[in-house]
Structures are given as structure tokens and as C-alpha cells.
Structure 1
Amino acid sequence: MGRYDVVIIGGGIIGAACAAELAGRGRRVALVERGRVASGTSAHCEGNLLVSDKGPGAELELSKLANAAWSSLAGTFRDELGHDFPDIEFEAKGGLVVATTDGGAAALLDFASTQRDAQVSAEPVTHAEARELEPWITERMTAAVWYPGDSQVQPTIANEALVALARARGASILEHHDVVGAIRESGRIVGVRTSAGDVRGAEIVVAAGPWSGEVSATLGVPLPVRPRRGVVLVTAKMPQRVFHKVYDADYVGAVGSGDAGLMTSSVVESTPGGTVLIGSSREQVGFDDAFRANVLGQLAVKAISIFPFLAQTAVIRSYSGFRPFMPDHLPLIGQDVRLPGLWHATGHEGAGIGLSLPTASLIGDLMDGRSTQIDAALFSPTRATLASELGAVA
């Protein structure tokens, strides 16, 4: 096969964003996907672009770059793809986080205070103000915080748009290419062996989401990326009764937890198609995608506690997906010093849709040797919090 400047492994939204970014910078790019692009994690999520669930620190700083990037893309991607391409449904709808216990209220308000110190707009609102934002919300609120910076996209269409942009900018999209090994020369990775032949490149980027651990091990450089399963319920279409992203205060704790057991919290939002999406769950069960009625039951009960009208609403389907979990809860973005030529863009867990664009920009700036918008060392494979996790080169 041909030789490229960059070979990106993974056709989800992170890999697609990196392909579009690097091809736009003039590099010859191959995007390698073992199945079909936009068919994994990015097709089994809600498309959240959140700042409300992140405390002060590296991931929040990356998230603050995301909304501007998505807003810009939403206004310009059809300039390259044509106006017949489907809308990515970017909505700067804002988010409302609510507590229903006294303890939850104190924790929520304290958390919002730390975010305001990090220059995030996190506005406590009264019961009446919350009801103006969401007229159908529970009367049992003990506190609520409004986050105007929360947004949403349709994740599968957004993924497909980035793949299309990469292709329009000259990238090769190689589907049904399962990576089975590394090509090395003089101690450097110079390509990958796939089920459909060798693909060579000066730089290799692992962006395989929850499968990044497996892929990296295949390349001889293990990573502590593990799958974390999540489930979403979808209701029947209805007149709109949910107008923003709404979730209970327990969600923040679930996001930041490393507990392998089942954790659920209520996340509720409408779609432009008239359905309501209900999440969220987190559990580490490997890649086991078996149906579990208890998970769906917990999601339904918690959603009804926030929006009581949902008790009378039909659920038409559910879907699940796997998110790339990292033990220190930070994405892995940058060059792997254990194997020259190898890069990583993975480990975003449930924030990958939102963080895809700034991640791609960070990878591009690092490859170009430019200054970055954010301190790249915070996400580097050499960061101190991973020192005990990364294995040696095989």
C-alpha cells in the first residue's frame, strides 16, 4: 500500500477529527478502521459537549476550547462539503444541574463555586428560575445551577462530517483494515500491518477509543485504557417538554469515579427529532454488551425523579456503548517516548465527542512543533499519574 505522513488508527470521532485536522495542515493521511467509520463509541452516545461536569483542572481547560471549536465547525463545514450534507445539529442549549437532597444541594453549590474560580459560568438559580428554564421539572429541587456553556451535537453525523472533511482534504479512508501488528525499523514504528495489507507512515496515531488498549498492546506498547460501558434510553416522540441538558448532581461524582461497579445518575435531554434521551450509566464489564434490565430500571427511576411526567412516557429502545476509561481520568494526548513515531489520542471516556476538536488541534500543534493552546504536558503519556501504569516496549 501507499506511504503516508500519518496513519491514524480508529475511525471514531477522535480519529476522524485528527485526520481532518492533519490533512488540513497538508499532511498525507490514512485513516485506518477495522470496520466502518462512525460505528463504535461515537455512534452509541448522546453527543454531549459539557463543561458542567468537570472540576478545575486539565480536562476542564480542554473543554473550554471545545464549544468555540464546535460552533465554528457548525458554521463552516458545509463550505467544503456542500450544503446538502446533513446538519451536525450543534445546539448551544445550556445545561441545568439539579439536586433533590440537602446534602446534594451543598455539594452542587460548592462544586459550582470551584468552577466559577476557573472562569466557568455556573449560575445558581432559584426554584422559580429553574422552573422558567424547565417548566416540567420536579418540585423536589433543593438547588439548581445553570450552565450556559453546555452544548450538544448529533454524534454520528458529526463523526461522518469529520471523515468527509478528511477525505475532501486528501486523506485516504481505509475501512475493514484490522491492525494486527507494527512495522518497525531501527527502533521506530514506521507503519502498521493490517488484515488488508501493510500501511506505512512516518507517524502513527492510536485513536481507537476503548479499543486503544488492545491496539497498543498489538503494537507492543501497552496502555491502561479500559472499556467502561454506558446505556441510554430513548423515548417515543412527544411535544417538547425538556428544553436544555438536565441532570442530577450525582452525575459529576459518577464521571469522576474509578469504581468498576454499576453507577447510574439522571441525564435527560430532548433531540430535534422529538425523542428524549435518558442516561447515564457507567460500569466496567469488559466488552460484555449483554442486556441488563436492572440498568435500564435504575435509569428510568432516576429520570422520573427529575421529570415526573416521564412515568407516563413510552421507551421505544435502548442502546449501549463502551467509553475509553483511563485510571487517572484524563485523556492521553501526545507522543509515546517508549516507541518513536507513535502517538496517542484516546482515553476521553464520555467526553470524547466534545473534546475531539481541541484534541486534534493539540496533536496537530505538537506534530508541527508549534506552541499549543493548552499545556500539552497535562495530557502527555509521560505524566506522573501514569508512571506506574505504562509498561515497557515489547
Structure 2
Amino acid sequence: MSPAQDVLVVGAGIVGAAVARELALRGLSVAVVDSHPPGLGATSAGMGHLVVLDGSEAEFQLCRRSMELWDRLLPDLPSDCQARRPGTFWVAVGEDELALVARKASYYLQHGVEAEALDAKSALEAEPALRRDVSGALFVPGDAVIYPPAAARWLLENGPEGKVSVLKGRVIEIGEGRARMAGGEELSFRWGVLAGGCANDLMPSLPLEPKKGHLVITDSYPGLIGRQLVEIGYGAGTREGKATTVAFNAQPRSTGQILIGSSRQFVGDDRSLDRKALGLMLQRACEYLPILAELEVIRTWVGFRAATPDHLPIVSEAPNLSGWWVAAGHEGLGITTSLASGELIADLMLGTGPTLDPAPYSVRRFAGG
């Protein structure tokens, strides 16, 4: 039986949508399957912060390439994607963190990312609601914000006409050139891509583990903050070991609401609110933005992000199953790095020269991969 599509993408979150769109732009027919409507799985729990991070050279390169691709798309996104460019304000407290501002600014500028180091006075003039003892801040004006579920839908709906179809259902088994749905239907295709959190369910050998995070959104308070505010130690604060960790992250939405994060926990698939973790997260947020204690919270929720041991995603050919590829394990950077991940999958699948060095994202970097 000949395949109905060239490619099956399992996962209709923003990574799966980006993979599908890129493959369609290169002339392939793509079916995307998910048990959730597009963008309403793990993607719906993302803050939508398009940000260049520098936790490692590989992380930086993936972020920067993806931001180049987002820069081309942002002007075309419709209003429901809530695309804006408030920039990121990395907040420092204490001399050690102020030194980190200088190092981070130097790295960004050397690598072509616009950045400005601010002293305490300038930081408070720009964001007067911040705690009074800030030592300074790093402002990265090119970072942006989108509403992830709407962006994922747009990516799926705005590729070449007739090239991308979306199926609702759950894939329970995969093999070479085939996938079996929960209802018994068999799908055939030339290549398959596991995109997002489903990858570990269908390929348990992958070194992926779910990280649970909490988010809080307030009522509307227009103008209270103007930029995405993040403590400069954010990366270390959310990636250390297996213990519950929290870090300050506050985002102004186009509605005037403030979206507050972030927490990270390894708790299996427990989807309940953890009031202790939530309390620690909000306490941390109020330390940096004291006025938050006076604001009305209207919603709190949790989400899961697949993480790898080295905090880099797997974007490569799958191990031990011919014709399958993996784009998963993006942790908290799936929204930002979705477009570059889609580009890299397409480059590798079609044998074109990749824009990025694929080695840091290959599953083979792990023992037994």
C-alpha cells in the first residue's frame, strides 16, 4: 500500500506545527495527529516568551536561529496571536549578579544580539515597579511575546495550500512507515516525526522526563510593567537537580494582565496544583515585583514540558527505528526554538546542508543513543 502522506507528525503543539509547516514549504505532504486540538497540549502552558538564552553555545545558536525565523513571521501573525516585542529585562540584585549582567551583555553583543546594560537608576526608571534594591539590568530589546496556542494554529493553517492536514486521535504504536491509532486505524507514510511530549510515550528509550510548571495570570493592570521581567539567575534557578525550583518571571500581556512564572518539578504525571510550589513561586515574584501582592489573580494552572538531562532538545533521526525523527525535549524553550527545530528536521530529513550544526541536538550524544 502506498503512503497517504509523505510525513506523519505526531504532536500538534507548536514544535509539531513548526515541523509540519517547514516540511510542507519544501513540497512534502504532511498529516499532523494529536489527541488535543492544535496548540492545546503542552503548548498551552507556555508563556510565549520568544527569548535568546545563553545557557550553552548550542542553546544560544538554536535560540538565535529561531529568532531570525520568528522575525520574518511576526509581522504576518494575526491579532489573536498577540505578537508584541516588549523585550526582556534581566534583573540583577547584588554585585555578583551585576557582574553577570556585564558578562551576558558582552556575550550577546559579540554574537550580534542587541543588548544594553543598565545601572540601578536606569533600571528603576524603566521599570519603577521593581524592588528598590536592584543593582541593574540587561535589556534585550529584540525578544518578543506571542500567544502560543494561536501561533501553533496559525503555523498549521498558513503553509502551502493542501499540504498539511490535521487529524484528531491518539497514536498508540509506531513502526517503520506506519502508526496505529487508539481506534485501530493504521496510518502509512514515508517518514514520521515525534514532536513534543508524546515522544517518550511512543519511544520510551528516549532520555526524556516531564517537568511540571505552574503559571498564574492576574486581572488587567495596564502599564504596570512594560517588559518581560526575569531574574538574571533564571536558568540556574530552574535547572538545578531534581528538587522543586522557582524563579521570577513576569510578562505583560496585550490585555494588561500579568502572566507570572515560574516553577519546575519532577513529579511524574501529577497534574494537580502544588500549593507549596505555587506559594514559593509567588513569594519569589513578590520579592522582585512587590506590587504583585496587591493584585487580583484570576487563574492558576499547570503544564508539563519534556526535558533532557543536558537541557538541550533532541532534534535528530530516531534511534533504532528507520524513517522516524524526533523533535522533543525542548523544556521551557519550545515556543522560541520551534521554528529552528522544524528547519533542522527538514534539513536532515531531506539531506540538505543544515543551517545549524546538528551534533549538539542529536540523540546520539546520550549513551546508547
Report the TM-score range of the alignment, normalised by the length of the smaller protein: over 0.9
Distance in 2 (alpha carbons) for counterparts of 1:134 and 1:99:
13
Distance in 2 (alpha carbons) for counterparts of 1:239 and 1:258:
34
Residue matched to 1:205: 193
* Aligned pairs (5 A) from 1:209-220: 209-217=196-204
Residue matched to 1:329: 311
* Aligned pairs (5 A) from 1:268-287: 268-287=250-269
Q: Does 2:50 match 1:63?
A: no
Deviates more, 1:352-361 or 1:294-303: 294-303
**SS of equivalent residue, structure 1 residue 317:** strand
2:307–2:331 contact (8 Å) kept in structure 1: yes
Report the CA distance shift for 1:112/1:286 in structure 2 as closer, same or farther (over 3 A): farther
Distance in 2 (alpha carbons) for counterparts of 1:191 and 1:283:
35
* Aligned pairs (5 A) from 1:206-355: 206-207=194-195, 209-217=196-204, 222-255=205-238, 257-355=239-337
Residue matched to 1:82: none
Report the CA distance shift for 1:36/1:87 in structure 2 as closer, same or farther (over 3 A): closer
Structure-1-length-normalised TM-score? 0.88
Q: Deviations over 1:282-339 (max 9, x none)?
A: 1111111111111221122211222222121111111110011001111111112522
Shift of 1:111: 4.2
Shift of 1:129: 1.7
Distance in 1 (alpha carbons) for counterparts of 2:61 and 2:129:
33
Q: Does 2:337 match 1:374?
A: no
Distance in 2 (alpha carbons) for counterparts of 1:201 and 1:258:
40
Residue matched to 1:50: 51
Distance in 1 (alpha carbons) for counterparts of 2:126 and 2:160:
41
Identical positions, percent: 31
Shift of 1:169: 4.0
Residue matched to 1:31: 32
Distance in 2 (alpha carbons) for counterparts of 1:120 and 1:239:
29
Structure 2's unaligned 5+ residue stretches are none
Distance in 1 (alpha carbons) for counterparts of 2:160 and 2:44:
20
Distance in 2 (alpha carbons) for counterparts of 1:365 and 1:11:
20
2:140 to 117, 134, 147: 147
Shift of 1:96: 0.8
1:56–1:118 contact (8 Å) kept in structure 2: no
Shift of 1:103: 3.4
Shift of 1:48: 1.1
**SS of equivalent residue, structure 2 residue 335:** helix
1:190 to 172, 177, 185: 177
Distance in 2 (alpha carbons) for counterparts of 1:308 and 1:150:
24
Q: Deviations over 1:27-64 (max 9, x none)?
A: 1111111232211110112101111x323411111111
Distance in 2 (alpha carbons) for counterparts of 1:307 and 1:258:
24
Report the CA distance shift for 1:309/1:258 in structure 2 as closer, same or farther (over 3 A): closer
**SS of equivalent residue, structure 1 residue 141:** coil
Distance in 2 (alpha carbons) for counterparts of 1:239 and 1:29:
41
Q: Deviations over 1:323-374 (max 9, x none)?
A: 1100111111111252210101111100000111111111112222111111
2:211–2:304 contact (8 Å) kept in structure 1: yes
Residue matched to 1:186: none
Distance in 1 (alpha carbons) for counterparts of 2:248 and 2:303:
17
Q: Does 2:367 match 1:387?
A: yes
Residue matched to 1:81: none
Report the CA distance shift for 1:167/1:323 in structure 2 as closer, same or farther (over 3 A): farther
Residue matched to 2:95: 102
1:122 to 83, 108, 115: 115
Shift of 1:117: 4.1
Distance in 2 (alpha carbons) for counterparts of 1:289 and 1:353:
21
Give the aligned CA root-mean-square deviation in angstroms: 1.9
